Structure 1
């Protein structure tokens, strides 16, 4: 608790007093997001518990800002912490780290050093219809990670259209060794790259395209994303191929299709998913054992999600959705087909930003 108290004190002091030391005052911000969820087996809930549970959808506190230190050179900074105080997780782990970095922005691009979402993760844009909930992409696929000890680069827009982005993790910070001192990493080089065209917010351009490759987190994966807007309708799609770096036979494709329709301020949303790789949280939490999860083949998992959200004010959103997951797999292409336990999830929640 002493560490948690110290973290909160440092965050508060940085927000309140650093304007005297910096030319531009930092911005303090936060989010409280709570959801009431009913789940059959808890395979996709934030706390992994079934029944009727209260979920904390990554409530957070943060400080960010920038300062111009020379012509066309800005210092950027962010300190962000997940806050678990409202749920039982806060008893043992009140704070968890989120994006925290120091960086420079120039005419040649932006470089951030520290903890950040990988460019594989951010390549999804806004095609993910139920992000940051128990129906997020990571319930079905790998690659949706945030990593520390890294360097992130975002290029300037070329012709106000295309950007190149990269994440590189410092190898030695992630080194693992056996008792004889031999390195046991599956892939010592951990990086991700992405190429982005269009606008993920679908405002400047009515389309968004992305291609990404990833070697982070014990998997090799490549991804394609597309999203387009027609009037009040947004359509999105994602394809990903993922292969384990430890088990060559564990690989496969994953697909998502989403649609969002704005009806007088109410966003009506639907998303279907298909996974043939078996790296998502639903499969990991539903497989018979960690060994079978690692050796799974012939994976066939489906998801279906429908829901809606409504913004009462600039600060406040209410939302609800129903999600269903089901699937099956085999082990190393042998033996009988094993059925996964279905999971049906009903969720209602509220988000408040400040």
Structure 2
């Protein structure tokens, strides 16, 4: 009898725990706040700034040996109190992953945005490439597909539904090669294209619907991580074009990382805009770093901008 009871308890425990073991839920986030001296053309002012701080929930649930559900719900958190909206939606989707690759439905970064990998080393700060270029889009009403990797190559497609009677479909496509973190491959490369995707640059120079081509490559040379990105964008209605280039470099010495980045935007109507950023990170732990940076934008037809910042970033 005792053996039967023990066997029954073990069976009940196993039955109760198998679904939980098959599913995973990770809570993650990042707090990033800086104090900075900013000059956007009308004089200097100080500010405490939350730099895309976020919290999210993600996970998988195995349905069979070769099929699983994947999901994510991520929110930007206003940690400096400037906005009336404490939370703002970031990537939020659900989908399936299997031998066919991965299909996601919801709000997500376009393939062109994802193609940048880790080359934009001042992403989410003032030197982010979205300041001068279009293409850094996180769009709603999307269907995203990524193929399995074949000898390091992977294909990606984002379809954006028109969502209304008079709307237009749009597409974002990319081919990826290698590991963007440069841990599993010696270099990373991607070529991406947006077709009729709505967007704007943060500096306000351009907005509308764009056809955009972007090529990205990064590698390590003598311990220095180097990145190169080139872009051509054309606003469909006006035909106005821009050719851009961005180069980045970073070098780590013990707990210190030295970083630098240049970005240019050459508009064919004669408007040249460029920005340069230099910074230093100091790692306190795997989860935490202190940083300083200086960003300067030279804008032909707009006010020049300068930012000097010091901040802390914590990941969990």
Task: Give the TM interval when normalised to the shorter protein.
Answer: 0.7 to 0.9
1:252 aligns with 2:242: yes
1: CA distance between counterparts of 2:41 and 2:124?
A: 16
Higher strand share: 2
Task: Report the Cα offset of residue 71 of structure 1.
Answer: 2.2
Instruction: Tell me the TM-score normalized by structure 2.
Output: 0.86
Deviations 1:249-268 (A, max 9, x none): x2110110111111223110
Where 2:22 maps in the other structure, the secondary structure is coil
Q: Residues 130-169 of structure 1 correspond to what in structure 2 (within 5 A)?
A: 130-159=122-151, 161-169=152-160
Structure 1, unmatched stretches of 5+, are: 1-18, 44-48, 177-182, 278-295, 329-338
Question: 2:191 — aligned with what?
Answer: 211
Question: 2:202 — aligned with what?
Answer: none
1:349 aligns with 2:311: yes
Task: Report the Cα offset of residue 20 of structure 1.
Answer: 7.9
Kept in 2, the 8 Å contact 1:226–1:237? The answer is yes
2: CA distance between counterparts of 1:320 and 1:152?
A: 36
Shift in CA distance, 194/27, structure 1 to aligned 2, threshold 3 Å: same
Match of 1:316 among 269, 273, 288: 288
Where 2:112 maps in the other structure, the secondary structure is helix
Task: Report the Cα offset of residue 79 of structure 1.
Answer: 0.8
Question: 2:40 — aligned with what?
Answer: 41
Question: 1:222 — aligned with what?
Answer: 213
Kept in 1, the 8 Å contact 2:127–2:276? The answer is no
1: CA distance between counterparts of 2:146 and 2:25?
A: 22
Shift in CA distance, 321/206, structure 1 to aligned 2, threshold 3 Å: same
Task: Report the Cα offset of residue 271 of structure 1.
Answer: 0.9
Question: 2:57 — aligned with what?
Answer: 63
Where 2:130 maps in the other structure, the secondary structure is helix
Match of 2:107 among 110, 115, 121: 115
1:262 aligns with 2:234: no
2: CA distance between counterparts of 1:70 and 1:42?
A: 58
1: CA distance between counterparts of 2:41 and 2:180?
A: 32
Task: Report the Cα offset of residue 140 of structure 1.
Answer: 1.2
Match of 1:79 among 73, 76, 86: 73
2: CA distance between counterparts of 1:257 and 1:88?
A: 32
Higher helix share: 1
Task: Report the Cα offset of residue 153 of structure 1.
Answer: 0.8
Match of 2:90 among 98, 103, 113: 98
1:52 aligns with 2:41: no
Task: Report the Cα offset of residue 85 of structure 1.
Answer: 4.3
Match of 1:189 among 163, 169, 172: 169
Task: Report the Cα offset of residue 225 of structure 1.
Answer: 0.6
* Root mean square deviation, CA, Å: 2.0
Structure 2, unmatched stretches of 5+, are: 1-17, 199-208
Deviations 1:170-225 (A, max 9, x none): 12x1x37xxxxxx3x5xx22110000111100111110111000021111100111
Q: Residues 290-329 of structure 1 correspond to what in structure 2 (within 5 A)?
A: 297-328=269-300
Task: Report the Cα offset of residue 141 of structure 1.
Answer: 0.4
Kept in 2, the 8 Å contact 1:99–1:116? The answer is yes
Question: 2:228 — aligned with what?
Answer: 237
Deviations 1:27-81 (A, max 9, x none): 11121110111111179xxxxx961111111111111110110121010011111
Q: Residues 24-39 of structure 1 correspond to what in structure 2 (within 5 A)?
A: 24-39=23-38
2: CA distance between counterparts of 1:79 and 1:22?
A: 21
